[in-house]
A = this chain, B = another copy of it.
Amino acid sequence: MIRISKKVEYALMALKFISNSEHKLVTAREISDKGNIPYDLLSKILQKLKNENILISNQGTNGGYSMNKRPDEIPLFSLMNVIDGETAIAECLMDNSVKDCCLTDSCSIKNPVTVLQKEVEELFKKKTISDFV
């Protein structure tokens, strides 16, 4: 199955929310409440986005998050990588796939699968967060 994880969906919703609140900090609680998103889970996601310099965070009372990049500077592809880690269309294509796929040698379709991988990547790289805002 091909899908966008809940986490990525939450990230998109959060980024949309923050983008639309220019010039004022937005708290995780706020996003969680308005978007019906589990607070703890959302916190983790926002933390990751902050660590990747997509968001800026301010701790303490009156703290919150704000954008550190324009939505059109954030490809969906990298968002997905940030949130869910390495993304590849087939297991064996993943960089970290040291866990040697038993097919590594016998796979007869690796080339066309690699081509498809490229095409999907292309699509997800062209999409940016601005398409979701």
Q: Which residues of A contact B (CB under 8 A)?
A: 1-6, 9, 12-13, 16-17, 34-37, 76, 80, 84-91, 102-103, 105-109, 112-113, 115-116, 119-120, 123-124, 127, 131-132
Contact = CB atoms under 8 A, between A and B. Distances in A.
A94 to B, nearest CB: 9
B87 A4 contact: no
The 7 closest A-B pairs by CB, nearest first: A36-B106, A112-B132, A4-B90, A12-B109, A109-B132, A2-B2, A13-B108
B108 A6 contact: no
A46 to B, nearest CB: 16
A3 B37 CA distance: 25
A16 B6 CA distance: 35
Contacts of A84: 1
A2 B87 contact: yes
A86 to B, nearest CB: 8
B119 A123 contact: yes
